[in-house]
Structure 1
Amino acid sequence: MTLETGVLVVGGGATGAGVARDLALRGVDVALVERGGLTSGTSGRSHGLLHSGARYAEADARGAEECLEENEILRDVAGACIRDTGGLFVQLAGDDPGYFETKRSACADVGIPTETLDGDEAREIVPDLAPETERVLRVPDAVVYPSRLVAANAGDARDHGATIHTHAPVEDVTVERGRVTGVHVGGTVGDRIEADYVVNATGAWAGEFAAMAGLDVEMRPTRGVMLSVEYAGLGPVLNRCRNPADGDIVVPHGTEVVLGTTSVPVRDPDDYGTDPREVETSVEECAAMLPPVADAPETRTWWGVRPLYAPDEDERGGRGISRGFFLLDHAADGVDDVASIVGGKLTTYRRMAEATADLVCERLDVDAPCDTADRPLPAVDRPERLDALVAEFDGQGPTDEDVVGAE
């Protein structure tokens, strides 16, 4: 029996769940399919940093502004999906002081609030900070727990009429006369789904799904390693104040910190090698800021794959440049009822979802505004309820494994 829906969202990460929620809140009939549990792709395998925009301020003012705006929105609407920690950009002896000044000036231009502290003042906040710390730039970074965030979005989407299908991989797409006439889904669905519109929110796998519909979306995924080690009591996120490089972020949890990351191109987001030297490098470089992590016991290690859009990477020149998001309307490619949302960052998932939902509503003649910037996610004051949703959607990723279910 063929299943019918208004919009089919393919991909159950932050963006896909955000699109499903946004559309459901606008009264659109939505179904979401994810080949694994929610967050099983990139969203649940990140370092969990909620950017203030400071990391990108000097390279991409617009992208930094988006991060700052979304950071502030999520603090208001996401409750226990977020931990407000603040962040420090750490200049060590030997780091270029000019880079620090450029970043501080760029943050001021964007509107990112900052405070400059000397090494002694910084060690009052983080006593174990390296003696080589010369000064730090305090910024409003925070921590995001992606398993909770995605589950909350999916739960709210379902509460407003959406259908969420996990462990439901897309097996084939049928296109006739410039429209998708059916998406064949296996696993828990085991059927054909017909939709008025299809959203490709598969992240690093966007090219693979697009190819099923005869479309070309060129992705350039890179892998990065993260590891969590035992270290209790770190307050703010630590960022090395230098050009982005391996091992320059330390993200605090309760009794652990997440260290990361690296950036290595991969051909296949499902099949790629890993190198233990990446782990060693990340630990060594992060320990330059926070020496005790050099010998801290590891609790888990994971790799994630970034959903980088190849044309943007070619234009910008690769790592260290802010990665915006791109909404591709495939009507221009001859398939009228499909859009792909690619690139971006976990911090900007809600904005990506809003842009996508705006396009879908325009195509379907739905006149309803987005209200996700002002509407709190459900159960955000009840961590135990959020964690029950994570379990229900099989949405536990390694990023926040030590937090979800522990509160």
Structure 2
Amino acid sequence: MTRSTTVLVVGGGATGVGVARDLSLRGVDVTLAERGGLASGTSGRSHGLLHSGARYAEADATGAEECIEENRILRDVAGECIRDTGGLFVQLTEDDPEYFEAKRDACEAVGIETDELDADAARELVPDLSPEVERAMRVPDAVIYPSRLVAANAADAEANGATIHPHAPLESLTVTDGRVTAATLGGDADETVDPDYVVNAAGAWAGQVAAKAGVDVEMAPARGVMVSVEYDSLGPVLNRCRDPDDGDIVVPHESEAVLGTTSVPVSDPDDYERADWEVDRSIEECAAMLPPVADADVVRTWWGVRPLYAPDEGDGDRRGISRGFFKLDHGDDGVENLVSVVGGKLTTYRQMAASTTDLVCERLGVEADCETATRRLPGADDGDRLDEFVARYDGQGPTDEDVVTRD
């Protein structure tokens, strides 16, 4: 069967469903295809941190500004997709105090609220903090439940006329005279789509999707492990106040704490090693901040692959690659109706989607404003309804497995 659609979005993670939702709210006919359940790629396999931007403040002021802006927006529109925990950056005895001060000053410069605490005040918030903690800085981090977030975006898109296809892998793209003229979807969709425009929002797999149109998108994916342990006594997110390294974040869930993470280059986001040393190192390093997690029972372990974009990047440590996002208009590559949106973070998905939708609407001659910064997600105040959306789109990922209920 062949069907026409104005825009085909490839990729059902946060950015892809964000684009589909934004387009549908602007009155554009859109079809989204995801090869698995929604959020089955990177979005549903993170540590679940809603960044305040403090992690990036001293090294990437623009990225930090994007994070704090989106952090505030999502708190307003995402309801029970978010858990407001706050966060601490903690300085241990061996950590450079000048780094702490540089981060605090950088946060102030970009408008991220901070509150410096001495060791005693920090331990009043987190009694199990290491005795090696010398001081801490409170920041507006939070926890995000990606399965709920992605599914709620998809539900709103569908309610506004979008077609959402989980389990519909893209099998081929046909390019004729410099335009994508057909996309073949397999799986549950089993159809050929004739799009006016195509958005490649496949994350770490964006290079594979682009290649189907004869276009190069040079991704530099990196894997990272998350280890969830039994621990229900942590209030805020904990961040080690040092240059980003293995095992420097602890994210509280309701009865668990997620420890992470590593950064190891991979060549194939579907086929990579899951190394035991990554688990051991993450536990050891996180225990330097919060000693009880060293002996806590491990509930589950999972890896995610970061969708980093870095042309000509080698095989070295990829932590220094920008976490900003990029829109690649492939008209410059000879395919005028294809754009790839790559890079970015879960925290900034809505902004990535809005920017991409602006571009697509400009190309299509659609004049309509973005509403997603002020329009609340459906079910935002009802966790059970959000979890029904997750079940509808087979959207459960390991990040929030302990929170999302699927009866």
TM-score (norm 2): 0.98
Residues 110-189 of structure 1 mapped to structure 2, 5 A cutoff: 110-189=110-189
**CA distance 1:97–1:352, change in 2 (3 Å):** same
Aligned residues: 406
- Aligned-pair identity (%): 72
Structure-1 separation of matches of 2:367 and 2:200: 22
Instruction: After TM superposition, give the deviation of residue 320 of structure 1 in Å.
Output: 4.3
Aligned to 1:232: 232
Letter in 2 for 1:401: E
Structure-2 separation of matches of 1:191 and 1:85: 44
Aligned to 1:361: 361
Secondary structure of the residue that 2:341 maps to in structure 1?
strand
Aligned 8 A contact 1:59 1:322 in 2: no
Structure-2 separation of matches of 1:183 and 1:275: 37
Aligned 8 A contact 2:218 2:312 in 1: no
Secondary structure of the residue that 1:400 maps to in structure 2?
coil
Aligned to 2:325: 325
Instruction: After TM superposition, give the deviation of residue 321 of structure 1 in Å.
Output: 5.4
Structure-1 separation of matches of 2:115 and 2:340: 39
Structure 1: 5+ residue stretches without partners = none
Aligned to 1:214: 214
Instruction: After TM superposition, give the deviation of residue 190 of structure 1 in Å.
Output: 1.1
Secondary structure of the residue that 1:327 maps to in structure 2?
strand
1:104-156 Cα offsets, whole Å, 9 max, x none, are: 11011111110000111100000001111000010000000000000000000
1:208-242 Cα offsets, whole Å, 9 max, x none, are: 00000000100010000001000003110000000
* Runs of 4+ deviating beyond 2 Å: 311-314
Secondary structure of the residue that 1:17 maps to in structure 2?
helix
* CA RMSD, Structure 1 to Structure 2 (Å): 1.4
Aligned to 1:384: 384
Aligned to 1:43: 43
Aligned to 2:57: 57
Aligned 8 A contact 2:310 2:321 in 1: no
Structure-2 separation of matches of 1:72 and 1:124: 26
Aligned 8 A contact 2:265 2:318 in 1: no
Aligned to 2:92: 92
Structure-1 separation of matches of 2:80 and 2:183: 36
Letter in 2 for 1:256: E
Aligned to 2:398: 398
Letter in 2 for 1:330: H
Aligned 8 A contact 2:266 2:272 in 1: yes
Letter in 2 for 1:49: L
Structure-1 separation of matches of 2:85 and 2:322: 22
**CA distance 1:361–1:312, change in 2 (3 Å):** farther
Letter in 2 for 1:393: Y
Letter in 2 for 1:275: A
Instruction: After TM superposition, give the deviation of residue 317 of structure 1 in Å.
Output: 8.0
Residues 70-89 of structure 1 mapped to structure 2, 5 A cutoff: 70-89=70-89
Instruction: After TM superposition, give the deviation of residue 245 of structure 1 in Å.
Output: 0.1
Aligned 8 A contact 2:308 2:321 in 1: no
1:148-196 Cα offsets, whole Å, 9 max, x none, are: 0000000000000001001000111100000001001100111211111
1:329-357 Cα offsets, whole Å, 9 max, x none, are: 11111101000000000000000000110
Instruction: After TM superposition, give the deviation of residue 264 of structure 1 in Å.
Output: 0.3
Aligned 8 A contact 1:22 1:370 in 2: yes
**CA distance 1:12–1:114, change in 2 (3 Å):** same
Aligned 8 A contact 1:207 1:218 in 2: yes
Aligned 8 A contact 1:14 1:39 in 2: yes
Residues 223-262 of structure 1 mapped to structure 2, 5 A cutoff: 223-262=223-262
Instruction: After TM superposition, give the deviation of residue 405 of structure 1 in Å.
Output: 1.3
TM-score (norm 1): 0.98
Instruction: After TM superposition, give the deviation of residue 318 of structure 1 in Å.
Output: 3.4
Structure-2 separation of matches of 1:357 and 1:406: 32
